[in-house]
Structure 1
């Protein structure tokens, strides 16, 4: 099914290309017409592409459709069946700088908490709870009571 260049092609016909040079206000400055030869042989082109692909990949390429294979670097590793360890490192793909900063802060806090002994963590929790309770009893619930106390 060659379009114009093969001598014995059934669909062989001349193809003319016309180029027109015009100004912005559509005034024609010049026009040229010339014949173009186009050769598109699907069988030959497919064979050439398969040979080139065969040279690159080294695999035998057939005309049947194959299932797309995921490269090894994109495959997620399967979790191990053994006991979980806190030393495992995981990679997260995060979309957006704001989310990244928030998750980074959470991760840093968790790592710091992991370094502090459990007894000290309980002490900090109790201290924080008592300081919140003391502050809430000292401060008035609304602004009017606070103004009356100042008078």
Structure 2
């Protein structure tokens, strides 16, 4: 499918890695941060996401909107439930290391989702898009979480 050593990109998230092995439709890659992933081959491409074609000029990015308790619906709880437990544990540990942050478990739903978005660099709309698919959501959040863990 992909030759060993080829750099591949995940179509949905843009994550990249070097192919270590292919087994049937499963491709095993290692990312620059050392994380190893196994992904379906049809989700990967050798084209960088920024090489997909001419891009429109980038609009200035507005800061992500913070969720409030009034925004919360059952869908928000479902999104939180879709986040892999190990990702939540890592987010909680990083949150609790911040001065004056308090316990992650003591936060309300909106504050938890805001903390997750800040620490993983994944905005809530992206989390909602991957709701119900913890593996994909963990992949999307992995790089931001790894970058944040390195910074401390």
More strand by share: 2
Larger radius of gyration: 1
Under a length normalisation based on structure 2, what TM-score does the superposition of the two structures give? Answer: 0.15
Structure with more relative contact order (C-alpha pairs < 8 Å, separation 6 or more): 2
Provide the TM-score with structure 1 as the length reference: 0.15
